[in-house]
Amino acid sequence: MTRALLFAFPILFQASLLFAAPEPSEVISVWPDLAPGETTKKTGDALPPRETDKPTITRVENITSPTLAIFPAPADKANGVGVLILPGGGFGKVVPDMEGSEAAAWLNGIGISAFVLSYRTTTGADEPITEKRWLRPVQDSQRAMRYLRQHASKLKLDPAKIGLLGFSAGGQAAAIHLTQEKALYDAIDEIDQANHRPDFSMLVYPWNVVDKNTGELMPEIVPSEKMPPGFIVHTDDDKSSSLGAALIYLGMKKHGVSGELHVYQSGGHGYGTRDRPDSVIGTWTDRGTEWLRLRDLAN
């Protein structure tokens, strides 16, 4: 595995410091060379901050070489559990702080090591990507999960306690990852001998997971008894995720998979772990902590 400290990371994670989010101990390349189907190795460009974002939200585009930011739990709290985080961004961008390092700070506080994936975006690609926009992010997610398992000893992880947390578009990619029995790329090295399936999942406002023509889950999301236990959050006033989140939960229950679904009255979309005015959506991490503790996954 080729490792490269990416000197751009202070820019990408600058906004997260407002929330006292940890800095990654290391940022590594997900693929040893070019990612599947790519001809360039671009780690992304941070867009100028929006004046309306208070606190600031970082958005990164033009990613063709995905990276994994490593946030180990403090040594006195680490419990061997790991979570791979897929931020949102509509697939054209990745939001590595509000839906990445800030979630890592929460997980670190309960003993869980976190790994934020800046997966490939539709921007920066050689050719316009209009179909299967989820494919490259899912490939990157599967590869990253295999990396964590292959290097579990080094990362001080229990290879049977590695979960997947997805926000928004990252939640769509995570939902596909959860239900795909086979990897969506050809194996290239020993890392790809490791299992790509997560041991538990957390989906937070999974975005556009319903087929608009059928009103059912998109065909790539196929719930089965092989899904891991899951925790799902969305708000009643988020049209992009409410029906899809409920259908994923229903699919889990039809197949006897343990799950927990939280529907908040308000909060909209794209809040990460932050509070929203006139909403209690910021308390979802409390419910998530409880769920993780009941499963012996958090301190």
Report pLDDT digits (tens) over 96-107: 999 999 999 999
Q: How many CB atoms lie under 10 A from the CB of residue 38?
A: 18
Number of domains making up the chain: 1
**Residue ranges in the chain modelled with pLDDT below 70:** 1-20
Output the pLDDT for position 20.
Answer: 61
DSSP readout, 92-130? TBB-TIIIIIHHHHHHHHTT-EEEEEE---STT-SS---
Q: What are the pLDDT digits (tens) for 138-161?
A: 999 999 999 999 999 999 999 999
Q: How far apart are CA 181 and CA 92, in angstroms?
A: 26
Residue 58 lies in a domain: yes
Residue 114 lies in a domain: yes
**Long-range CB contacts for residues 277-283, cutoff 8 Å, separation at least 24:** 279/235, 281/235
110 with 33: CB under 8 angstroms? no
Residue 299 lies in a domain: no
Output the pLDDT for position 239.
Answer: 87
- Short-list 123, 124, 104, CA closest to 112: 104
Distances (CA, A) of 147 to 9, 35, 49, 65: 20, 14, 32, 15
Count how many Cα atoms sit within 13 Å of the Cα of residue 241 in the half-sphere of its side chain. 32
- Short-list 120, 95, 111, 108, CA closest to 271: 95
Residue 1 lies in a domain: no
Residue 16 lies in a domain: yes
112 with 157: CB under 8 angstroms? no
Cis, bond preceding 55 (omega within 30 deg of 0): yes
Residue 4 lies in a domain: no
Structure-token pair, residue 100: 């990445």
Q: How far apart are CA 10 and CA 95, in angstroms?
A: 14
β-bridge pairing 113-118 and 162-167: unpaired
Residue 2 lies in a domain: no
β-bridge pairing 230-235 and 201-204: parallel
Residue 263 lies in a domain: yes
pTM: 0.93
Give the structural domain span for 140. 9-294
Residues whose CB falls within 8 Å of the CB of residue 26, separated by 6 or more in sequence, listed in order: 3, 5, 69, 70
Phi/psi-derived region of residue 107, left when phi > 0, alpha when psi is between -120 and 50, beta in every other case: alpha
Chain centre to alpha carbon of residue 59: 15
Output the pLDDT for position 8.
Answer: 39
CATH code (residue 54): 3.40.50.1820
